Structure 1
């Protein structure tokens, strides 16, 4: 079954294996990257504060102010036209008021994840290229969500940004297998997630979903991320998963300098029609997404 996270008990010759000789699954791959076993402390503190009905703005400020890099990024976000509306914001207290709890949560989450993966060796992944492509997917996700009148379209920005994190986990955990995946995907002009399913028994989206489910992220994020390569399996989040899937395809097609394969040809007319699009809409949408990506990069990729 495509996307299945189970494997046979005895691996065949040449198949990737875990340290105990068993075949990997999306869950075991995510779990074995120990540094990712739990979310970063700042994010944990922030989530705890947000769940407490007695918490105040001051409590939120205190939760994020212990991280100077995060504080600087939140101020950049709050002062950006894209996220904060272009209003002058010079304190974290004001940033919390301008952005609101939900957007503060999502920005801290995105920043925490990007920090966790900041030291992946360049021989495995061009991280700057990866994040720029992910920001393109994030921008396209938000634009598509706005077009589809999806409530809280900002959350789809984060889903698009984090959707391909499973790729990075796979590069870290099974680099040889991923080298083979990329060789096949590029040599045979196949979408990378389909090659992963063939060789591994699951794809990177399943790994992303396992990781973020373990972090106890909201279902409104986990569902679209886990299922964006197979939106029909997303249950209550089918439309959101389709948005993210189309956005990821557009990002790859836009020529971001990454090692990801190009799945855009698999954007079916039916998928586009569900989103109220046709092929002629894609170029202007990609142009707008590229502009938003450049602005988002000044926020998320700039040194603190």
Structure 2
């Protein structure tokens, strides 16, 4: 994407330490016009983000805090790898992704052509059927037994999102017991945010598939950054695992930059970069973006369902661009998904 590398270099090459609460590093970024509400306390958003990291890292708030400059050496090396696109753990573009994106964007493609592309990749076929039958996608109690049936039942819009999730799922599967809980929670959080963004986009008459995949990218950036930190920590005498405070600092600083790198590595169209940038740096009076609201609602609901500290509903309504009725519609679907998922895991 023209200008992207120069932009990311300017963003990350400063000699000054990054500030976690700065707009360019915050995960939950309500559009500025919502935050202009005098009844809204910006600290509420910071608190929700802290609650999320406590849950993802299974750590109390005190364990997430680091002393000034404590991790600057490691974080500096991580920043250099991001700027120079040398993240060893950055997932490479899935082989079938370009063909699938072309087929999905071609009005002349039918479901048989799409099915044929998917079936040529046995691993993708298995993942797709698992994802299509998960609570996040399966309509009702009907089991989906074939790719052709999935395309027929879910439609092109639905299958786009299933394909996005099926492509990303293997990349986020835990490699060992040390990252198992983190990977499991990040995946659940990412899917919940992506589905929330998709539902909001549908309400607003926008392209649901763009927001679904964009909603998954921060979750994939989290597992990518954690694995990169593991590599860096192994080179430090006495360190085998990155502590929660280091992981927290890295994710807070570089979550959006890494999401942009993933979109670049996968040759995603410019509209994906635009949505990520709009979510990272909302401009005053910017057009409402489902991605910001989807991440806020998804984060709140996944924490609430996990019985973690979250955000009161009245505060959510102050910082999102949905009516109370629209919020209830989105929340009802997300709660049903989370409940069904809990029963599946039980």
Aligning the two structures, in what range does the TM-score lie when normalised by the shorter sequence? 0.5 to 0.7
Q: Could you list the runs of 5+ residues in structure 2 that have no partner in the other structure?
A: 1-8, 18-68, 234-240
Q: Is the 8 A contact 1:135 1:293 kept in 2?
A: no
Q: Is the 8 A contact 2:222 2:251 kept in 1?
A: no
Distance 1:118 1:234 in 2: 39
The offset of 1:50, in angstroms, is 4.2
1:188 is matched with: none
Q: Is the 8 A contact 1:6 1:25 kept in 2?
A: no
Range moving further from structure 2, 164-173 or 60-69: 60-69
Distance 2:202 2:99 in 1: 31
> Higher relative contact order by CA 8 Å / sep ≥ 6: 1 or 2?
2
| 2:195 is aligned with 1:139 | yes
2:319 is matched with: 271
Q: 2:226 aligns with which of 162, 171, 186?
A: 171
- The TM-score normalised by the length of structure 1 is 0.66
- The TM-score normalised by the length of structure 2 is 0.59
Q: Is the 8 A contact 1:78 1:84 kept in 2?
A: yes
Name the count of aligned residue pairs: 276
| 2:291 is aligned with 1:241 | yes
The offset of 1:92, in angstroms, is 2.5
Cα RMSD, aligned residues only: 4.7
| 2:11 counterpart SS class | coil
Q: Is the 8 A contact 2:194 2:295 kept in 1?
A: no
2:115 is matched with: 61
Alignment deviations for residues 11-30 of structure 1 (CA, whole Å, 9 cap, x no partner): 988524589x68426444x6
1:6 is matched with: 12
The offset of 1:102, in angstroms, is 3.9
Q: Is the 8 A contact 2:89 2:228 kept in 1?
A: no
What is the 5 A alignment of 1:173-252? Answer: 173-175=228-230, 179=242, 182-183=244-245, 195-196=249-250, 202-232=253-283, 238-251=288-301
The offset of 1:219, in angstroms, is 4.2
Alignment deviations for residues 195-219 of structure 1 (CA, whole Å, 9 cap, x no partner): 4488xxx431221122113312244
| 2:13 counterpart SS class | coil
C-alpha change, 1:95 and 1:271, in structure 2 (3 Å) is: same
| 1:254 counterpart SS class | helix
Distance 1:294 1:218 in 2: 34
Q: Is the 8 A contact 1:130 1:257 kept in 2?
A: no
Alignment deviations for residues 150-205 of structure 1 (CA, whole Å, 9 cap, x no partner): 4244553443333322111110112478945x4289xxxxxx5xx4488xxx4312
C-alpha change, 1:33 and 1:52, in structure 2 (3 Å) is: farther
Distance 1:131 1:240 in 2: 19
Q: Is the 8 A contact 1:16 1:23 kept in 2?
A: no
The offset of 1:64, in angstroms, is 0.5
2:304 is matched with: 254
Q: 2:166 aligns with which of 102, 111, 119?
A: 111
